[in-house]
Amino acid sequence: MTRRSKTPLAWKNLTHDWRRLAAALAGISFAVLLMFTQVGFQNALFDSQVKVIDDLQGDIFLVSKAKYTLAAEKRFSISRIHQAQSCSGVQGAYPLYSELTTSVLREMDRGIGTRGFPLRTLGFYLDDPIFQSEEIKTKLHRLRAPGTALIDAKSKKKKFNFPMQDEAKLAQYSLELANKNLTLVGTFNLGTDFAHDGNLVMNAENFAKYFPHRKRFGDPLSVVDIGIVHVQKDFSTGEVIEILKKTLDDDVFVLSRENFRAAEIEFWDKSTPIGTIFLAGKLIGFVVGMVICYQVIYSDIAEHMSEFATLKAMGYKTSFFIQLIVVEALLLSVIGFIPGTIFSRLLYEWLAGQTGLLMLMTVPGIVFVFAMTVTMCVASGLLAVRKLLAADPASLF
């Protein structure tokens, strides 16, 4: 029979010495911060990576089977788009063009180019419903002129340090994209990711002029990076995907929005060392927290060995002591988690401002870090409890 102790011994022991408690909380908060940072960066990477997908309209996406990630410049023929347009259930199919390696933007200083940096240029027909962003929609008319583009206001400041807030000033900038003059006629918001330091959007005709060599021979617009398919109202996406798969040649993937997103995230998680690096980072946070937590609980036990031995002599069972330490560990994890989360939140905001990455504290992220915190505290408590169980009441006399 284990009676639940009414004297809150775990709480009292924990809070008795406020200096040690503060040190413990600082340590656990630090571990929480470490883990949150890793989770945040990882999510930011993944979310940023697929931000462009989230910003596109459309229900079904077509990509070349050779395109293993958005940044891979593998294209498919425009004829797939035409094929898709003729399929039943398809309201419309539109091409989206993308260029990265040759899309180098440089600022001109009195006729002499400064060092340029590559960024992603997205080209599309202005009449096609491509972007969800209202910002782009309202500025579409500005893109009709030759040599114009909108620039992503979140592009990396270090490389693209333009007056993003002031569009009039921006238009005065003398720039070259792929060695041809470019006028920035406004901004939009997309955000950077690990492969792209900035973004431009422009009209497809302009796009063809800037990047005429996309296809060695022939029309540069005849090779498409992403095909965007809108489904008719009375058709389900699943149905249309099946139809497209049957109809289209075998060189493209037909993906739903979710699958497209998931495939991109999976590439970064599994096919690059990034997933492993972040896992290692999280583990380091976990281990640091565990060591700190073990130290706190162990020293609490070590300092009270004779008191615990007395409780043993009185007839308290092993289960009582394990429960006591587990409660202590849980309390530590909860009260260490709160300040850790607050600090992490602040850090996220700062990092988001600095890097343009999407640092979001998501519910799954919070749940994950909290679970890790509880696990690390309880595990270290259970490691330390062996010391307590070794308390020998015979040594008291």
Partner 1 sequence: MPSLTTIPATSGAFVGDLQLPKTVKVQNLNYFFGEGELRKQALFNNNLEVRRGEIVIMTGPSGSGKTTLLTLIGTLRTTQDGSLKVLGNELQGCDRDLIVRVRRQLGFIFQAHNLFESLTAYQNVNMAAELAGLDPMIAEGRIKSLLTRLGLGERIHYKPKSLSGGQKQRVAIARGLVHKPKLILADEPTAALDEKSGREVVTLFQELARDEGCTIIMVTHDNRILDVADRIINMVDGQIKSDVAVQEASVICDFLKEIPLFDHQTPNTLAKIADQMMVQEAESGDTIIRQGDPGDLFYLIRNGTVEVRVHDGKQERTVAELKEGQYFGEAALITEEPRNATVVAKGKAIFYALEKKDFREVLERSASFEEELRQALFGRQ
Footprint on this chain of partner 1 (rule: CB under 8 A): 3, 5-7, 9, 12-13, 15-16, 304, 306-307, 309-311, 313-317, 392-394, 396-397
CB of residue 14 vs partner 1: minimum separation in angstroms?
A: 8
CB of residue 26 vs partner 1: minimum separation in angstroms?
A: 20
CB of residue 298 vs partner 1: minimum separation in angstroms?
A: 17
Q: Which is nearer to partner 1, 112 or 314 (CB)?
A: 314
Q: Which is nearer to partner 1, 72 or 305 (CB)?
A: 305
CB of residue 333 vs partner 1: minimum separation in angstroms?
A: 20
Check the CA dihedral 129-133-134-138 and report its sign.
negative
Q: Which is nearer to partner 1, 218 or 315 (CB)?
A: 315
Q: Is 303 helix (H, G, I), strand (E, B) or coil?
A: helix
CB of residue 18 vs partner 1: minimum separation in angstroms?
A: 11
Q: Which is nearer to partner 1, 168 or 314 (CB)?
A: 314
Alpha helices (runs of H) in the chain, residue ranges in sequence order: 9-16, 18-55, 79-85, 134-139, 167-172, 204-210, 237-247, 257-266, 274-303, 305-314, 318-355, 363-389
How open is the CA angle 201-136-192, to the nearest 5 degrees? 55
Q: Quick one: tokens of 135?
A: 């910002």
Q: Which is nearer to partner 1, 174 or 310 (CB)?
A: 310
Task: Return d(Cα 300, Cα 297) in angstroms, integer.
Answer: 5
Task: Return d(Cα 24, Cα 328) in angstroms, integer.
Answer: 12
CB of residue 319 vs partner 1: minimum separation in angstroms?
A: 10
CB neighbour list of residue 67: distance below 8 Å, 6 or more residues apart: 74, 75, 225, 253
Q: Which is nearer to partner 1, 92 or 393 (CB)?
A: 393
